[in-house]
Amino acid sequence: MNSQNIIVIDGQEFTFNQDDTILQVAERNGIFIPTLCYLKGTSPTGACRVCLVEVEGARNLVASCATPAASDMVVRTDTERVIKARKLNIELLLASGQHNCLAQDMDMDSWTDFQLRAMETNEHKELCPAHGDCRLQDLAIRYQVNTNRFLPTETKYSIENVNPFIIRDFSRCILCGRCVQACNEVQVNNAISYGYRGSTLKIVAKADLALKDSDCVFCGECIQACPVGALIPKQDLLKERSVSKTKKVHTTCSYCGVGCQIYLHVRDNKVVKVTGVNDIAPNFGSLCVKGRFGYDFVNDKKRLKTPLIKENGTFREASWDEALDLVADKLKRIKDESGPDAIQVLTSARTTNEENYIAQKFARAVIGTNNIDHCARL
């Protein structure tokens, strides 16, 4: 082993590769460093200052996501100084917007003002939609951060909801830049960026347009990257929310042939949301607008629920027994009268391998014809 490539983190020695950051070495070896703005696979921004660590010999704490590992570097991830700095940064982030989920520990007067103001807008009547699924909230609880030291900052920009899918609530945006990284470095749609400066900093689409008027293609990568409640799928607000009653099922998307790995979020036998499965090929969490938002068909009320038989030009409902007996009789009769090649089966590029296998076995072994095809040609 090359002794050049050894770093010490919390008293343990680890090897590292060129271009590894301190955070990457720590994560690989099971050492927890909290992160907020860091988005895997993209260039680090160091914006949130939550992943601070202490490096021996360095005067200031460093952002582990943006600091390359170096030989003979000695790193501490959990000193009092580190914890204190992280707590302060989380506290400032909480105060940067309307993060009302942790308002309980404010003093009464400002709590009321804060709540009233927060609830003036329609979308804020309920608890933050990210409640229970928010990195900032998780970190605030983990580090027992009080919110009573700083008053929440006034909201400078109003909510944007003039598109079918994405709500942008700037009052909850912590300007971490994960959405910008996701849009520009993962999907490379280049639709959003930082705009304005200093205290008016904002994530903007083109020249601060609504998403629908920009280059946005509604892939929703930004929603999946947002660690707080600033980017929310619109559907989430239209439905009764309850994270606890929802189950997530890992499956494969049913649109194009890429085969993205998705989670179907299911509640009361209904799909309520779709998210990409992170860290797995081929999509590593990414989805497109159809995959992420085009799931309504599954629970559409026009779904076929019972077999139908046409009589005198109109359909009537039938039992499985009646319908399948009719089909079996008809096919048998046609086979007897006109031969098996007078029957054709079209199987489907939408159904599973197992079902396609059964369909061609049915055509060949049961009907006795090779007349089987599907729409690959179409």
Partner 1 sequence: MAGLAAAFGSGAMTNPIEDLEKTNVIMIVGSNTTENHPVLSSYIKRAVTFKDTKLIVFDPRKIDITRFATHWLRPVLGTDVAFINGMMNVIIKENLYAKDYVQSRTVGFEELKKKVEKYTPEYVEEISGIPKDQLIDAARLYGQAPAASIVYAMGITQHTTGTDNVKSLANLAMLCGNMGITGGGVNPLRGQNNVQGACDMGGLPNVYTGYQKVGDPAVRERMAKAWGVEKLPEKPGLTVTDMMERAHEGKMKALYIIGENPMVSDPNLGHVKKSMENLDFLVVQDIFLTETALIADVVLPAASFAEKKGTFTNTERKVQMVRKALDPPGQAKEDWEIIADLSRRMGYPMEYANSRAIMNEINEVTPSYRGITYDRLETKGLPWPCPATDHPGTPCLHVGKFTCGLGVFHAIDYIPPAEVPDDEYPLYLTTGRVLYHFHTGTMTMKSQGLNELAPECFVEISQQDAASYNLHEGSNLKISSRRGTIEAKAMISEKAVDGTVFIPFHYAKAAANTLTNAALDPIARIPEYKVCAIRLEKAQPVSIQE
Interface with partner 1 in residues 132-171 (CB under 8 A): 164-165
In the DSSP assignment, the letter for residue 39 is -
Q: Across-strand partners of 267?
A: 270
| Choice from 105, 185, 208, 213 touching partner 1 (CB under 8 A) | 185
Neighbouring CB atoms inside 10 A of 270's CB total 12
Within 10 Å of residue 20's Cβ, how many Cβ atoms?
Answer: 18
Nearest partner of 225 among 278, 274, 295, judged by Cα? 278
Task: Give the residue with the Cβ less far from partner 1, 80 or 337.
Answer: 337
Alpha carbon distance 253, 262 (integer Å): 6
How do beta strands 308-311 and 74-76 pair?
Answer: unpaired
Restricting to residues 72-101, name those near partner 1 by CB under 8 A. none
Q: Say how many C-beta atoms besides its own lie within 10 A of residue 50's C-beta.
A: 26
Taking the complex as a whole, the smallest distance from the CB of residue 40 to partner 1 amounts, in Å, to 14
Stretch that binds partner 1, among 5-13, 109-117, 223-231, 336-344 (CB under 8 A): 336-344
Q: Give the residue carrying structure tokens 């020695």.
A: 13
Q: Of the two residues 153 and 352, which places its CB atom closer to partner 1 in the complex?
A: 352
Nearest to residue 148, comparing CAs of 102, 89, 82?
102
- 261 touches partner 1 by CB under 8 A: yes
Q: Using the rule CB under 8 A, is 350 a contact of partner 1?
A: yes
Q: What are phi and psi of 325, to 5 degrees?
A: -65, -40
Instruction: Select 111 or 255, whichever has its Cβ closest to partner 1.
Output: 255
Identify the residue whose tokens are 């170096």: 70
Q: Is 376 in the site for partner 1 (CB under 8 A)?
A: yes
If one asks whether residue 222 binds partner 1 (CB under 8 A), the answer comes out as no
**DSSP one-letter string for 40-104:** TTS-----S--SEEEETT-SS-EETTTSB--TT-EEESS-HHHHHHHHHHHHHHHHTTT-GGGGG
Measured CA distances, 116 to 109, 110, 126, 230, 256 (Å)? 11, 10, 12, 19, 46
DSSP 155: P
Specify the stretch interacting with partner 1 by CB under 8 A; choose among 82-90, 103-111, 122-130, 340-348: 340-348
Omega before 282 within 30 of 0, i.e. cis: yes
Task: Based on the shown chain and the rule CB under 8 A, indicate whether residue 323 belongs to the binding site for partner 1.
Answer: yes
Region 224-243 residues binding partner 1, contact defined as CB under 8 A? 234
| Among 4-12, 23-31, 56-64, 256-264, the segment contacting partner 1 (CB under 8 A) | 256-264
Answer for which of 218, 220, 244, 246 binds partner 1 (CB under 8 A) is 218
> Is 193 among the residues that bind partner 1 (CB under 8 A)?
no
**C-beta closer to partner 1: residue 157 or 255:** 255
State the Cα–Cα distance between residues 364 and 339, nearest whole angstrom.
13
Interaction of residue 59 with partner 1, rule CB under 8 A: no
Backbone φ and ψ for 244, nearest 5 degrees, come out as -70, -35
- Pairing of the two strands 270-276 and 192-195: unpaired
Positions 268 through 297 that interact with partner 1 (CB under 8 A): 269-271, 280-283, 286-291, 293-297
Examine residue 366 and tell whether it contacts partner 1 (CB under 8 A). Answer: yes
Give the Å distances, CA to CA, from 342 to 326, 357, 373: 18, 21, 14
**Does the footprint of partner 1 cover residue 308 (CB under 8 A)?**
yes
Q: Does 259 bind partner 1 (CB under 8 A)?
A: yes
Of 82 and 179, the one with the shorter C-beta distance to partner 1 is 179
Using CB under 8 A, which of 46, 132, 195, 340 touches partner 1? 340
Instruction: Tell me how many residues contact partner 1 (CB under 8 A).
Output: 109
**Residue 316 found at the interface with partner 1 (CB under 8 A):** no
User: Is the CB of residue 192 less than 8 Å from the CB of residue 173?
Assistant: no
Q: Does the protein bind partner 1 through residue 213 (CB under 8 A)?
A: no
The yes or no reply on residue 210 touching partner 1 (CB under 8 A) is: no
Question: Is 12 or 269 the residue whose CB approaches partner 1 more closely?
Answer: 269
CB of 278 to partner 1, least distance (A): 13
Within 10 Å of residue 290's Cβ, how many Cβ atoms?
15
Does 245 help bind partner 1 (rule: CB under 8 A)?
no
